[in-house]
């Protein structure tokens, strides 16, 4: 009887759940493009259930801002960018582990207007008639870069420059449109889908902009490489990818 009790206690002590509970709590900093925040919020909940000793802290901003933070030595464990332009240079400089980086997701660029308005815009070239157009700052916001490319390729960039309201990230663009502070805005399709205060007036032709890619990778200087690798792999599993797709993202790893 005593032997049986001893075996049961040893088995319990060696169970994965017990091992998780006994491990020291680790906090990971995940820098991610702001357009990912809703999907990542759900992934955080599921990940922390599976790994209760790991706490996820998100640092959400435009990809250009996050890139600069990493270049300046900010303590980051994993980076999820909304563009290769703000990710690949970090790989080239050895700041992102090339063996732990992947093109994770895709997206689309759309033109949105406040819901219920009598919009005259059914294509991107028609926004020359808008008085105020919100767009992410092209110098640092990938959605702004893609949006500028679209406007240039439909030959209206120069005609609309004086009407553009630049935003710090794509979520600010969405807010401007939701609150009727602008006539139209250029955002990702995933952002448009999450709001019941806007509607899509037009979708950009994929040929009019650089392919939209969300790369992800482990930051080489991170303080918790093992736990960072766990999260990096977790966002690629079927459960996470299905969740991303629910929010309108495209799966690029299949």
Q: Is the pLDDT of residue 14 over 60?
A: no
Q: Is the pLDDT of residue 22 over 70?
A: no
Strand bridging mode 54-61 / 198-203: unpaired
- Residue 247 annotated as binding? no
In a shared domain, residues 64 and 122 = no
Q: What's the pLDDT tens digit per position in 119-171?
A: 788 899 999 999 999 999 999 899 999 999 999 999 999 999 999 999 999 99
The C-alpha angle with vertex 149 and arms to 143 and 155, in degrees rounded to 5, equals 135
In a shared domain, residues 190 and 242 = no
- Residue 143 annotated as binding? yes
Is residue 174 a part of any domain in this protein?
A: yes
Q: Is the pLDDT of residue 46 over 50?
A: yes
In a shared domain, residues 92 and 138 = no
Is residue 48 a part of any domain in this protein?
A: yes
Strand bridging mode 133-136 / 164-167: parallel
Selected residue with higher pLDDT from 211 and 9? 211
Neighbours of 195 (CB within 10 A): 15
What number is the average pLDDT over the span 98-120? 93
Number of domains composing the chain: 2
In a shared domain, residues 52 and 91 = yes
What number is the average pLDDT over the span 45-55? 97
Please give the Cα distance from 207 to 224 (Å, whole number).
Answer: 40
- Residue 188 annotated as binding? yes
The enclosing domain of 52 has a CATH number of 3.40.190.10
Confidence at residue 165, expressed as pLDDT on a 0 to 100 scale: 98
CA–CA distances in Å: residue 171 to residues 59, 113, 133: 14, 14, 14
Is the full-model pTM beyond 0.75?
A: yes
In a shared domain, residues 172 and 223 = no
- Residue 63 annotated as binding? yes
Q: Which domain holds residue 121?
A: 109-208
In a shared domain, residues 98 and 42 = yes
- Residue 129 annotated as binding? no
Is residue 1 a part of any domain in this protein?
A: no
Confidence at residue 21, expressed as pLDDT on a 0 to 100 scale: 52
Cross-strand bridge partners of residue 164: 133
In a shared domain, residues 199 and 116 = yes
Q: What confidence tier does 2 reach under pLDDT thresholds 50, 70, 90?
A: very low
């Amino acid at each position: 009887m005593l032997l049986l009790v001893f075996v049961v206690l040893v088995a319990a002590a060696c169970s994965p759940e017990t091992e998780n509970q006994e491990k020291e709590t680790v906090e990971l900093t995940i820098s991610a493009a702001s357009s990912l925040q809703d999907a990542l919020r759900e992934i955080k909940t599921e990940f922390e259930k599976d790994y209760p000793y790991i706490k996820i802290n998100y640092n959400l901003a435009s990809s250009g801002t996050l890139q600069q933070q990493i270049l300046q030595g900010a303590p980051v464990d994993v980076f999820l960018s909304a563009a290769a332009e703000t990710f690949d240079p970090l790989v080239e400089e050895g700041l992102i582990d090339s063996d732990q980086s992947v093109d994770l997701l895709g997206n689309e660029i759309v033109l949105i207007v406040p819901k219920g308005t009598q919009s005259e815009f059914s294509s991107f070239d028609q926004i020359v008639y808008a008085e105020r157009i919100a767009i992410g700052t092209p110098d640092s916001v990938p959605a702004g870069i893609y949006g500028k490319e679209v406007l240039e390729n439909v030959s209206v960039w120069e005609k609309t420059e004086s009407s553009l309201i630049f935003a710090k990230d794509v979520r600010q663009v969405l807010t401007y449109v939701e609150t009727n502070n602008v006539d139209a805005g250029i955002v990702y399709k995933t952002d448009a889908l999450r709001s019941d205060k806007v509607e899509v007036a037009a979708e950009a032709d994929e040929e009019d902009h650089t392919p939209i890619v969300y790369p992800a990778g482990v930051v080489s200087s991170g303080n918790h490489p093992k736990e960072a690798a766990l999260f990096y792999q977790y966002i690629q599993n079927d459960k996470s990818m299905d969740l991303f797709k629910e929010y309108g993202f495209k799966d690029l790893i299949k």
